[in-house]
A and B are shown apart, each in its own frame.
Chain A
Amino acid sequence: MPRTAHRPIRWIIPVFLAPALLFYTLFFVYPAIDAFRISLYDWSGFGINAKFIGLKNFAEALGDQYVRLSLSNNLLIMVAGGALLFTLALYFAVVLTTPTVKGRGLLRVVLFFPYTINAVGIAFLWLFILNPQFGLLNGTLDDLGLDKLTQIWLGTRGLAMACIIWVIVWMVIGFYTILLQAGIENIPQDLRDAAMADGAEGATLFFYVTLPLLRDVLAVAVTYWIIDALQVFTIVYALTKGGPAKGTNTVSTYMYSVALPQDAPILRFGYGTAIAVMLFILVVVASAVYFRLIRREAVEF
């Protein structure tokens, strides 16, 4: 809402800004800055034990094999999960924007509802579906006579990572589909009509008209995914707690298990926070680099 003429003192400005600024600064910005200080300490969380050790936490993290393993799991989720996610999301976005397809409203609901319900609940639902003794998946395979295919789904690192990726994709696909759908709907219909008049249809229309014009929206969506994939916590922690043998940890779950271990009495707040700071820097750098790479003149309609 643009501005009115200038008057001496507008009390409304400081009065209305103060509460939001106060909450936000004190309980979000200040802790975020404080994280950088805490990461320089050997600190178990209680004042007396804090010892300044400079960058030693960061040096330790760089040499920690579990940090590397966790990060490689994040990258696996980002790349393999991203390939699956965007193939499906693009497909569903095309279906949802095709006027002749029936039941699009229902499809939209089915795609999007997992995004809105409790992530812990979703993880536990899949934990039970994948349960080797009474789970839906093994049980159904048995009933179909395919008992050779039954697995201890979360028992080995490879399978467990595949399951984690599946559950994450299942949960977030609605969000990405709806972003891409909005992108397709924003492409002026006359552009598509013109292409169709020239004889383009189906795959040709998609790859030569829709996809190039969707580039900017796709870039935004991929940036969101990079940020999400590097920060995955809830699904992994609720499904596997990072196991078996710490093999499915992501950086977030590993950081949590280091800072507040459930099985050991030693809290490592300084070290855990150093890992969080490194992840934060990685997220900022990765999304900035990606955005730089794909940037070019925006397509104007």
Chain B
Amino acid sequence: MTTLKQIAQSSGSVQSIQSEHWALRALKTLGRAVFYYVPSLVWLLIALVAVIWLVMSSFKTSREIFAGVWDFPKSFYLGGYIRALAQANMARYLLNTTMLAVVVVGVLDIIGAMASYVLTRYRFVLARPILLYFIAGMAIPGLLVVVPLYLLLAQLHLLDSLVGLGIVYIAVSLPFSVFVLTGFFRTIPSEIADAAVVDGASDFGVFWRVAFPLAMPGLVTISIFNFLGVWNEYLLALMLISSPDQTTLPLGLAALRVQQQMTGDWTSMFSGIVIAMIPSLIIFLLLQRRLTGGLTTGALKG
């Protein structure tokens, strides 16, 4: 370390760069490589090791799991996956969650776009207050509404139902969706819509045929976020759902864990985690750029 420091100091002196000793330059390059690559490689290694171990363990029998952490599975044992999907209902939870996510995303795209469009295109007294009213919801934590929602849904006979949970997910996702979509609608030049009006399109026609298609990038962004939101949400589902046939994936995984603790069936637990991770991993890898791009526009323009 001391030599590095001395070298760094001497390199800062007036002596010209060309006369730097080759060893000095090599050391500098090495130092730079260590700084930029070593922590990144460590991080890569942690993620890789964790995921590989998870997948490996999901193909082991319970006995093999206890035998040695780095032993390769002897006979790609599929019992864990079969039990997780069939007995532990993971197939059902996957189906429930997918249907719920698709409906919630679809409804949010449509009603979110309708509201955002009106709020940005028309000048009326309440436009700004209503926009602020929507965006203020981003500050409300889920914890605050769990008990009131439990009581409200109980009154409406929507407790312990995917319909009730879906309605709640739509409501709590609206602030973010409207926030992002109004941002997108603002970037569409009004001349395009005005031209359609001149061509005789009605207010509704302008929306469906002109504005809605032009807002597609924004719709894709909120769709991804809302989909992942539904896919991963835990607190509200935990509070509002209790029966297995209405259960979503995070809850199902937690139920699988309770079951596995009683039976000692570790393999199916590992398999369950893999099953729960795969769909969001695929979405992530396919839509990575769009996801991170949408995230920075959403999070920083506030």
> Could you list which residues of chain A lie within 8 angstroms of chain B, going by C-beta atoms?
1-4, 6, 10-13, 16-17, 19-21, 23-24, 26-32, 34-35, 38, 45, 88, 91-92, 95, 98, 101, 103, 106-114, 116-121, 124-126, 128-129, 133-136, 139-140, 143, 170, 175, 178-179, 182-183, 217, 220, 224, 227, 231, 233-234, 237-238, 251-252, 255-256, 259-260, 269, 272-273, 276-277, 279-280, 283-284
Contacts and interface: CB of A to CB of B under 8 A. Distances in A.
B174 A23 contact: yes
B172 A124 contact: no
Given A1-B185, A3-B123, A12-B118, A233 B235 contact: yes
A255 B197 contact: no
B87 interface: no
Contacts of A32: 140, 144-145, 148
Contacts of A234: 234-235, 250
B36 A124 contact: no
Given A4-B190, A120-B253, A256-B146, 14 more contacts: A31-B149, A113-B284, A118-B277, A119-B234, A124-B273, A125-B54, A133-B66, A134-B66, A134-B266, A136-B49, A140-B69, A231-B142, A234-B234, A272-B147
Contacts of B238: 237, 256
B167 interface: yes
Contact of B172 (A28, A30, A273): A28
B68 A111 contact: no
A47 B185 CA distance: 45
Contacts of B112: 20
A139 B39 CA distance: 23
Going nearest first, the 3 A-B pairs with the smallest beta carbon separation are A139-B69, A27-B171, A31-B148
Nearest to A231: B141
Given A1-B211, A12-B118, A182 B296 contact: yes
Interface residues of B, number: 100
7 contacts: A20-B174, A95-B36, A117-B281, A139-B68, A231-B142, A259-B146, A269-B147
Interface string B250-263: 10011001000000
A48 to B, nearest CB: 13
B122 A3 contact: yes
B65 A12 contact: no
B30 interface: no
Contacts of B203: 10-12
A182 B207 CA distance: 32
Nearest to B260: A124
A110 B50 contact: no
A118 B276 contact: yes
Given A35-B147, A276-B144, A24 B134 contact: yes
Nearest to B234: A234
A26 B158 CA distance: 14
A125 B66 CA distance: 16
Main secondary structure of the interface of A (DSSP, over half): helix
A45 B150 CA distance: 9
A112 B123 CA distance: 40
A170 B115 CA distance: 37
A256 B240 CA distance: 12
B102 interface: no
B295 interface: yes
A17 B257 CA distance: 43
Interface stretch (B19-27, B72-80, B285-293): B285-293
B288 A35 contact: no
A253 to B, nearest CB: 10
B68 to A, nearest CB: 7
A16 B148 CA distance: 28
A117 B278 CA distance: 8
Contacts of B250: 118-121, 234
Given A1-B190, A124-B269, A106 B44 contact: yes
A133 B269 CA distance: 16
A122 B76 CA distance: 23
A78 B133 CA distance: 29
B292 A112 contact: yes
Contacts of B152: 27, 30-31, 34
A217 B300 contact: yes
A109 B289 CA distance: 10
B96 interface: no
Contacts of A91: 39
B130 interface: yes
